[in-house]
Structure 1
Amino acid sequence: MTGSGHTKTDDGGALAVGAGRLYGLPPSEFTVERNAWAGDARANGNAELAGKIRALPKPSTAAWLLNMLVIHRRAEIDGLLEVGVELRQAQADLDQGTMRRLSKERRVLLAALLTTGRGLASELGQRASAAVLEDVEETLRAATSDAWATAAVRTGMLTRALSADGWGAADLSGAVAVPVSHAGQPDAAAGPTVPLPADKTRAAAQRKAALAVKSADEAEAALAGIRDRAAGLTLERSALAARLTELRNLVAEAARDLAAADREAVGLSREEEAAARTAASARSAADRAGARLMGR
């Protein structure tokens, strides 16, 4: 990035191109490369460009990971953002069936992208914590709800994570390093426009539809949680029933052993009584024989 010889006449293009490269670097290299680039611009007599370069903020970890997804996993990002475009149209049309279908598809794609993001961070020598992945998810949700946030993510130059208010409007202040206009898309740094009076009814309908989709998402998530818990309880009940059967079998076996021991004890008692009578009879006979012998 250094030694590029930027001049005052190409500040806008140079800043956009250079920032695109800068925000594609590992976090550990960002500050050194930014300062070297600014020094190069100043050495070439362009103090204004040097000042703009030095003002470029280092991205948060979540923003860096989102930029990496745009650079290295663009097809997956575009797939999710296209679902967002279709979902916004379905909301505008108040098409409940399409909204439900696309909301489900969005959840699947979001989950896949979070897994991809975790793996990509590891490949690039970084760790994506749970908090970072939450920010990534919130940003991608905002990007599927708001066209301005979509454009911001697509620049690959995010400086921070984005969030939406639940109705689609995202706060983009300071979120993109260099404003970049996309053909057919709003300027990522310009922010949303205020609807004209004639659009207020449609905007309200869009907010209502978005709120309905959010409620449906929450209800479906709650249902999934209940089903998961029910499945867990079924497994636990099966295990307890099996254990109960095992214990009952052990009790039955112990009862049989006890009954056998009781029968054996009764038999031994009878044998003992018979032996005692035999011994007593034998002793009596012996005593009588002894007496007879002494009488002689």
Structure 2
Amino acid sequence: MSEAANSYASVTVDVRDHVALVTLIGPGKGNAMGPDFWRELPEVFEALDADPAVRAIVLTGSGPNFSYGLDVAAMGGALAGVLAEGAQAGPRLDFRQHILAMQRATSAVADTRTPVVAAISGWCIGGGVDLIAAADIRYASSDAKFSVREVKLAIVADMGSLARLPQILSDGHLRELALTGKDIDAARAEKIGLVNDVYPDQQACLDAAFATATQIAANPPLTVRGVMDVLDEQRTAAVAASLRYVATWNAAFLPSKDLGEGIAAMFAKRPPNFTGE
């Protein structure tokens, strides 16, 4: 990639020996996903996909954690219009378009014809799970922890977890994660099939991801893309329909007193008191 293409605020990109390393860098704490992330990631993956020198991609996080997920403080403005008292069709339609635009970030990872291997350490929460669900192969270090936590904020996950995890997990395991918002460790993630393998530490996990990416990169690139196309054909239409549906559902029904309570409780670090309003 060009030098200019590597000057992103939310990720770094390094390409060597046909393997690109994409590292989340925030700028939010714990590589939280703010406006820069949602804007830049489609550009990053579209550029990598168009680069013939790139035959595989490793996706990881900087520091001890993969990602804390959505940067709620930085992205709160997107909710302002639809949460206003008596918000009608205009703000709701704008909010739906905003969701669809944000979905492009995880879809760019899922739709790239270049195989993506995720190396996950520390926390992988909410949007982080959306992101790894879009990868082709997932490895974790033993300290990794996963949570589809949106339900605890009174949010229906709308960036891809509920669309892509059904093709990765059994229905019962997915419902358990999505309906409880519970945290699971790396051993549990491996047992239910969320990750392929678990490694002793972050470096061993990253080394394994690179080893797999290097193996992929050594294969004939047109054949690899053919394999990707055939496998993706089986899921593309179902995922696209699910993403459109959740965007419409959230635009209509996400605004609630419980949402405000969930966000307030998160910032206050206290248990929420949901009332179903």
Shorter-normalised TM-score: what interval?
under 0.3
Task: Tell me the TM-score normalized by structure 2.
Answer: 0.22
Higher relative contact order (CA 8 A, sep 6+): 2
Question: Between Structure 1 and Structure 2, whose CA radius of gyration is higher?
Answer: 1
* Larger helix percent: 1
